[in-house]
């Protein structure tokens, strides 16, 4: 029978008290009972109630039972019966029952809804009944009872009940459900505790009944109610848990409070002789001969430990008894109240003193234990002093290792990242904890690998040519990308990390377990793509598809005296000669090994043979050795970067693998610099520890990856990249200076130059001094090339106030004159000061990226100016130049290396591609690059609706309105979820949004569905999720599907958060989190959107 009828009964009970139906059901039943109570004898009414609840014999004392189930049932029925009496007597906010208006009724409903928790406007509307005009009346009363709290970046605007209205709170409000009653009671008790008040929740002062219903209050002073209250309190005094419940006592106390408030009101409004309501007298007299009156029983339960939670309420009731007593005697209640409460207060003071004494004793005990432990540690260290003296790593972390370093640091605190004056690297011993096994381990080259979770994804965040992703064919001849990153940064490979650390072995076990369990879960396949190696971070559930091995900084032994001596010989022109000789020698050796050397090459080899190994004379050392597990993780990470970045099959032997490792390092740094510039934050110190740790891991991974690649391949890559800067080494397909991104070029050259030191019989790499000069000369060359890029691409120059010409302005004018001469006067004329400002502004992003890169590569601490000032502060340029070993006047580089750079400038400017660009035949990227943001949206949502109403599907002629969807990256209006705009992508039919995301966002999309007023996030063809739109109504709420129809306005903070979500490459992570929360059995076909 329960199967057949049970659900129907549950449904009826739900609708009986539901806000939409209760006016005609539950409320009418309460009104009917009040009418009956007003017309009947109160004792007769209460006896009928007891009979209906089958409690007559129970309260008569003729029914006894030891069956615990039966006792629990009686307790439950008693609770329900007492609650019914509270409702019948106390619920008077009905026009006609008491002197209240409909507005008063609505205000009371709103107050009690807000006493549960602060609520949004829409939640309040849902919780209020509607009239015949489908209106709730909320707007007319909300300002009287609540204050509006504006929404933050997330969430929505909330209404909070005013403090002066809290006294109207009734914990037994008859429209509360059980869960609402518990929440409201807990919320109000918590509020009172925070304010330092007692936790009593007394009944509010109700409005007076109308004359027709005035007899209802007689229920509170009739003999039966006194008997019921005595019976309930007596069972609590007996302290047998099965005979009573705390809810019974709570309801009984509430009823007593209602009676005392009624008596107090009548005594205040009339004389004692006129008042016939005598509850307090009966409560004191009836049963007093056996110490079982209501009043005496209250004194007894006040000290019960099992009723500690109701102690404050009992005190309030006893105080009300004294107030009513004084009103009857027409005397001040203060004296008797103070006499009554004096022993109570002294008891409270004793309790507080006891608690304080125990807290002090516990504190002393803890201090004693800590002192004992400290003494034991000192004794252990003293007894094992020899052991500690022989362990240098137990000393302070970051102490200088060599005497030369300490001497240098004493001379000056050098904050220079590259060159012979580079600062020291802090030898910081890093001990990390695996999030899976919770074991600690030091990060070391020969130790088992520790890895960071990471997510590699293609990105168009920095693109300067939105929607023009260049096609890449892995086997295509003469393909410039990925070796030469175009300056448009059309698509890059970003590697981000949530910063959580695991052992490589723990991660492999975890990943295998994920694979095994996910195949058996239908929903999990919607979140992660096992075929692409995806998984969720075990700790924060971020989406990941690889791991980055943690590699410590290489220990530095830098001899400044040797560096100064070498610097006198290894000038920039000498360095270029030695490098060229080494490259040509390596080519000839390779050709000899292949048995195909030509006559010209042999002559060249013979001419350069004496200088072939001269590069080694400036310092070499053995390459770093890594454990097998670190080597394996280097391959895993590099393969993922190569596969995702080029959308190709995994192939760890592909010659482009090391190039993609360098590219993801460069692009990730550029993306981070872009975020810091967008938010105007300092270059250093703004990143969270997990972000900084992830960036350092990516740089060290990119630097170490060459050890797993063919050195001949890396030598070829280095030679090809150097050909952009040294035209003598260029080939036919070498791009011009305007066709490459200089920072990608810098990272590739710095990380690949150690391969030139490789010898046939022995593995070698440059020493610290050699590396310092390699970095310095490469950086100076690339910086000068980038300055030329900025000048050649500039068409407008800032107006600078006329004044005395500075040395910087004269150097800039000289640089401009030289370039103008080599380009046939094709660049616009400008003053020296304007040129200097324009070029410095153009190269600042490059210098900031270089500072981040060399900081992570060398570990040299940057100057304080880069920590404390934002990226747009005036002193940034000087601090960057100092850290990167550049003269403060960057144009000085061209004068210091005039003999070397002049022929290079001529060759660079003489490229046909540059001539064509200067004549306007091809587009060039201007520096600093444009910072991408989401499109500008109208402030009023009706403007978007108007725009959508005029939208016509470009591929359909019918008048049927489609689903207009706006791309927030570029502003294109698309026709989504329609068969008319299907197109082919990788051989599959996809919708307009999916096809557009593939070209506009490299598979990632952010769209605004205008008719639904919701954001759609997309990642690949199979995954997506919805996200709240940045449009809010006047109440700080979104309106999905425009259901409420309130006017909507753009929230700048929320739109800024969406912009950050995109620029920080968190869209994939947001989609994964959303899909994990929303458990759907059948996947939505996102590819058809």
> What are the tens digits of pLDDT across the range 194-215?
888 888 899 999 999 999 999 9
Distance CA 1052, CA 1061 (A): 14
Instruction: Looking at the structure, tell me whether residues 669 and 647 fall in a common domain.
Output: yes
Q: Is 1061 helix (H, G, I), strand (E, B) or coil?
A: helix
Query: Average pLDDT, stretch 754-772?
Result: 86
pLDDT digits (tens, 9 = 90+) for 69-125: 888 888 899 999 999 999 999 999 999 999 899 999 999 999 999 999 999 888 898
Q: Which residues pair with 860 in a beta bridge?
A: 425
Q: Is residue 1020 part of a domain?
A: yes
- Residue 182 shares a structural domain with residue 288: no
* H-helix segments, 710-767: 711-725, 742-752
Length of the chain: 1089
Q: Is residue 550 part of a domain?
A: no
Do 977 and 991 meet the contact criterion of CB atoms below 8 Å apart?
yes
User: How far is 453 from 549, CA to CA, in rounded Å?
Assistant: 9
| 338 and 348 co-located in one domain | no
- Do both 284 and 188 map to the same domain? no
Contacts of 505 (CB under 8 A, 6+ apart): 448, 629
Asked whether the predicted pLDDT for residue 957 surpasses 70, the reply is no
Please tell me the predicted confidence (pLDDT) of residue 408: 39
At 388, the pLDDT band (50, 70, 90 cuts) reads very low
> What pLDDT is attached to residue 336?
41
Last residue of a domain, one of 356, 388, 420: 388
The torsion region of residue 987 among left (phi > 0), alpha (psi -120 to 50) and beta comes to left
Query: What number of H helices and E strands is found in the chain?
Result: 39, 21
pLDDT over 80 (residue 984):
no
Cβ–Cβ under 8 Å, residues 967 and 1006: yes
Pairing of strands 501-503, 620-621: unpaired
Identify the bridge partners of residue 1050 per DSSP, sorted by sequence position: 1031
Average pLDDT over residues 504-510: 94
* Number of domains the chain is built from: 5
- Cβ neighbours of residue 1080 under 8 Å, at least 6 residues apart? 523, 526
Residues 6+ apart with CB under 8 A from 678: 931, 933, 1063
Residue-level pLDDT at 605: 36
Residue 701 lies in a domain: yes
pLDDT at 478: 46
| Domain shared by 897 and 999, yes or no | no
Residue 609 — very low, low, confident or very high, per pLDDT cuts 50/70/90?
Answer: very low
- Inform me whether the pLDDT recorded for 716 exceeds 80: yes
Does 262 share its domain with 169?
no
| Tokens matching residue 500 | 């959580």
Which residues are CB-contacts of 1058 (< 8 A; sequence separation ≥ 6)?
934, 968, 1006, 1015, 1027, 1030
Query: Distance between CA 412 and CA 405 in Å, rounded?
Result: 11
**pLDDT at position 269:** 86
Q: Which two tokens stand for residue 809?
A: 């302005």
Extract the runs of DSSP E, i.e. beta strands, from 722-797: 765-766
Top-confidence residue, 63 or 901: 901
Query: Which of 659-668, 811-820, 969-978 has the weakest average pLDDT?
Result: 969-978
* Assigned token pair, 400: 């200088």
Domain-ending residue, one of 323, 342, 361: 342
Give me the pLDDT at residue 342, please: 40
Assess whether 900 and 1011 both reside in one domain.
Answer: no
Same domain? For 169 and 234 the reply is no
- Within a domain: residue 164? yes
What does pLDDT average to over the chain? 84
pLDDT digits 0-9 by tens, 255-310: 999 999 999 999 988 888 888 888 989 988 988 787 788 889 988 888 888 888 88
Neighbours of 361 (CB within 10 A): 10
Helix (H, G, I), strand (E, B) or coil at 287: coil
3-state secondary structure of 372: helix
> Mind listing the pLDDT tens digit for each residue in 561-575?
888 888 888 899 999
User: What CATH number is given to the structural domain containing 24?
Assistant: 1.10.10.2670
Rounded CA gap, 1054 and 726, in Å? 49
Say which residue, 896 or 989, is predicted with more confidence: 896
Cα 738 to Cα 310: distance, rounded to the nearest angstrom: 80
**832 in a structural domain:** yes
In a domain, 1021, yes or no: yes
Burial class (CB in 10 A: 0-12, 13-18, 19+), 463: buried
In this predicted structure, what is the pLDDT of residue 838?
A: 92
Q: Does the pLDDT of residue 371 top 60, yes or no?
A: yes
pLDDT at 855 over 80: yes
| Rounded Cα–Cα distance for residues 793 and 925 (Å) | 7
Note whether residue 449 is domain-resident: no
Give the pLDDT of residue 170. Answer: 93
Are 238 and 309 in the same domain? Answer: yes
Long-range contacts of 893-899 (CB under 8 A, 24+ apart): 893/780, 893/783, 893/784, 893/787, 894/784, 894/811, 894/814, 894/815, 894/818, 895/811, 895/814, 897/572, 897/573, 897/780, 897/784, 899/573
pLDDT value, residue 393 = 39
List CB contacts of 726: < 8 A, sequence separation 6 or more: 576, 580, 904
What letter does residue 615 receive in the DSSP assignment? G
List C-alpha distances in Å: 912 to 237, 782, 922: 103, 20, 11
pLDDT of residue 594: 43
pLDDT of 402 over the 60 cut: no
Residues 11-26 have a mean pLDDT of 86
Decide if pLDDT at 857 tops 50: yes
Q: Which of 212-226, 365-379, 961-975 has the highest mean pLDDT?
A: 212-226
Q: Are residues 867 and 823 in the same domain?
A: yes
- pLDDT value at residue 82: 94
Element (H, E) at 369: helix 334-383
Q: Is the CB of residue 700 less than 8 Å from the CB of residue 490?
A: no
- For 423-475, what is each residue's pLDDT tens digit? 888 777 889 999 999 999 999 988 999 999 999 999 999 998 887 776 655 44
Q: Kindly indicate the confidence band of residue 803, based on its pLDDT and cuts at 50, 70 and 90.
A: low
What DSSP assignment string belongs to 124-193? HHHTS---TTS---HHHHHHHHEEEE---SSS--EEEE-GGGGGG--TT-TT--HHHHHHHHHHHHHHHH
Task: Say whether pLDDT at 1078 is over 90.
Answer: no
Is residue 1037 scored above 90 in pLDDT?
Answer: no
* Res 752 pLDDT > 90: yes
Query: How much is the average pLDDT of 304-330?
Result: 88
Nearest by Cα to 245 from 234, 236, 256: 236
Section 149-157 average pLDDT: 78
pLDDT value for 1079: 59
Of residues 928, 923, 785, 911, the one with CA closest to residue 843: 928
User: Which among 886, 918, 950 is the end of a domain?
Assistant: 918
User: Is 421 contained in some domain?
Assistant: no
Give pLDDT, residue 801: 65
Containing domain of residue 233, as a range? Answer: 211-342
Shared domain for 973 and 890, answered yes or no, is no
Per-residue pLDDT, averaged over 401-412, amounts to 40
Q: Is residue 1061 located within the same domain as residue 1078?
A: yes
């Amino acid at each position: 029978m329960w199967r057949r009828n049970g659900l129907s009964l549950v449904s009826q009970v739900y609708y009986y008290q539901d806000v939409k139906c209760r006016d005609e059901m539950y409320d009418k039943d309460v009104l009917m009972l009040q009418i009956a109570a007003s017309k009947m004898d109160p004792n007769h009414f209460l006896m009928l109630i007891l009979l209906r609840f089958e409690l007559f014999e129970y309260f008569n004392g003729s029914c006894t039972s030891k069956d615990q189930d039966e006792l629990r049932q009686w307790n439950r029925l008693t609770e329900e019966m007492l609650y019914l009496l509270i409702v019948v007597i106390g619920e008077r906010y009905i026009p006609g029952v008491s002197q209240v208006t409909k507005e008063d009724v609505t205000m009371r409903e709103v107050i009690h809804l807000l006493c549960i928790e602060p609520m949004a406007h829409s939640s309040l509307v849902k919780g209020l009944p509607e009239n015949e005009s489908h209106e709730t009346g909320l707007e007319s009363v909300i300002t009287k009872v609540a204050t509006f709290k504006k929404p933050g970046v997330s969430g929505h605007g909330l209404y909070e009940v005013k403090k002066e209205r809290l006294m109207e709170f009734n914990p037994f409000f008859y429209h509360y459900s059980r869960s609402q009653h518990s929440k409201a009671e807990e919320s109000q008790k918590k509020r009172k505790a925070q304010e330092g008040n007692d936790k009593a929740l007394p009944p509010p002062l109700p409005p007076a009944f109308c004359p027709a219903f005035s007899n209802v209050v007689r229920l509170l002073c009739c003999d039966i109610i006194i008997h019921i209250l005595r019976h309930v309190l007596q069972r609590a005094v007996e302290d047998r848990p099965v005979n009573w419940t705390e809810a019974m006592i709570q309801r009984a106390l509430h009823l007593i409070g209602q009676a005392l408030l009624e008596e107090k009101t009548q005594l205040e409004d009339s004389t004692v002789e006129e008042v016939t309501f005598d509850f307090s007298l009966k409560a004191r007299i009836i049963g007093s001969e056996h110490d079982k009156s209501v009043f005496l029983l209250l004194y007894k339960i006040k000290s019960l430990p099992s009723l500690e939670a109701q102690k404050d309420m009992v005190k309030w009731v006893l105080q009300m008894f004294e107030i009513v007593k004084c009103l009857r005697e027409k005397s001040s209640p203060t004296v008797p109240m103070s006499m009554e409460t004096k022993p109570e207060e002294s008891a409270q003071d004793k309790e507080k003193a006891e608690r304080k004494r125990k807290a002090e004793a516990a504190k002393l005990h803890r201090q004693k234990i800590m002192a004992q432990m400290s003494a034991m540690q000192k004794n252990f260290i003293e007894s094992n002093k020899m052991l500690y003296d022989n362990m240098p790593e137990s000393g302070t972390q970051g102490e200088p290792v060599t005497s030369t370093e300490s001497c240098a640091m004493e001379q000056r605190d050098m904050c220079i990242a590259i060159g012979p004056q580079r600062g020291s690297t802090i030898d910081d011993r890093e001990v990390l904890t695996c999030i899976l096994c919770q074991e600690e381990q030091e990060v070391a080259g020969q130790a088992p690998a520790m890895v960071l979770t990471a997510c590699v994804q293609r990105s168009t965040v920095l693109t300067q040519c939105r929607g023009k992703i260049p096609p890449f064919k892995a086997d295509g001849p003469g393909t410039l990308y990925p070796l030469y990153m175009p300056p448009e940064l059309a698509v890059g490979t970003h590697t981000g990390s949530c910063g959580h650390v695991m052992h490589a072995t723990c991660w492999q076990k975890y990943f295998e377990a994920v694979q095994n369990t996910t195949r058996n879960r239908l929903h999990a396949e919607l979140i992660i793509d096992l075929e692409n190696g995806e998984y969720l971070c075990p700790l924060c559930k971020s989406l990941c598809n690889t791991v980055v091995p943690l590699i410590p900084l290489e220990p530095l032994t830098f001899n400044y005296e040797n560096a100064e001596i070498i610097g006198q010989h290894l000038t920039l022109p000498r360095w270029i000669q030695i490098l060229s000789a080494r490259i040509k020698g390596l080519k000839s050796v390779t050709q000899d090994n292949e048995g195909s050397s030509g006559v010209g090459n042999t002559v060249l080899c013979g001419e350069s043979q004496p200088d072939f190994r001269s590069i080694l004379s400036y310092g070499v050392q053995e390459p770093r050795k890594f454990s097998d597990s670190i080597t394996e993780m280097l391959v895993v990470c590099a393969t993922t970067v190569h596969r995702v970045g080029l959308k190709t099959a995994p192939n760890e032997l592909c010659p482009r693998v090391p190039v993609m490792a360098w590219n993801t390092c460069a692009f990730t740094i550029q993306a981070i610099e872009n975020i810091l510039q967008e938010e105007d934050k300092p270059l250093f110190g703004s990143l969270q520890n997990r972000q900084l740790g992830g960036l350092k891991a990516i740089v060290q991974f990119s630097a170490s990856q060459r050890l797993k690649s063919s050195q001949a391949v890396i030598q070829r890559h280095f030679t090809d990249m150097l050909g952009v800067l040294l035209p003598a080494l260029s080939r036919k397909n070498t791009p011009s200076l305007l066709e490459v991104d200089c920072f990608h070029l810098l990272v590739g050259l710095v990380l690949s130059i150690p391969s030139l030191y490789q010898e046939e019989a022995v593995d070698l790499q440059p020493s610290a001094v050699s590396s310092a000069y390699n970095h310095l000369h490469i950086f100076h060359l690339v910086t000068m090339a980038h300055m030329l890029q900025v000048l050649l691409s500039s068409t407008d120059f800032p107006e600078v106030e006329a004044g005395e010409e500075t040395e910087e302005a004269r150097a800039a004018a000289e640089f401009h004159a030289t370039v103008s001469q080599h380009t046939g006067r094709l660049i616009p004329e400008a003053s020296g000061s304007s040129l200097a400002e324009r070029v410095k502004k153009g190269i600042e992003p490059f210098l900031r990226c270089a500072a981040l890169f060399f900081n992570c590569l060398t570990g040299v601490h940057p100057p304080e100016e880069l920590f404390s000032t934002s990226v747009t502060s005036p002193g940034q340029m000087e601090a960057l130049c100092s850290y990167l070993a550049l003269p403060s006047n960057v144009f000085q580089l061209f004068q210091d290396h005039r003999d070397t750079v002049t022929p290079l400038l001529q060759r660079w400017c003489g490229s046909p591609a540059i001539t064509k660009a200067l004549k306007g035949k091809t587009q060039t990227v201007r520096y600093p690059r444009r910072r991408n943001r989401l499109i500008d949206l109208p402030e009023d949502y009706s403007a978007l609706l108007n725009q959508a109403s005029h939208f016509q599907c470009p591929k359909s002629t019918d008048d049927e309105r489609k689903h207009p969807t706006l791309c927030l990256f570029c502003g294109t209006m698309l026709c989504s979820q329609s068969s008319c705009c299907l197109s082919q992508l990788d051989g599959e039919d996809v919708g307009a949004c999916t096809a557009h995301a593939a070209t506009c966002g490299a598979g990632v999309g952010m769209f605004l569905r205008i008719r639904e007023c919701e954001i759609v996030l997309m990642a690949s063809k199979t995954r997506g999720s919805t996200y709240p739109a940045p449009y809010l109504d006047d109440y700080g709420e979104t309106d999905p599907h425009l259901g409420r129809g309130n006017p909507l306005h753009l929230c700048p903070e929320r739109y800024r958060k969406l912009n950050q979500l995109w620029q920080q490459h968190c869209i994939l992570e947001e989609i994964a989190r959303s899909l994990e929360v929303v458990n759907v059995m059948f996947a939505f076909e996102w590819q058809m959107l």
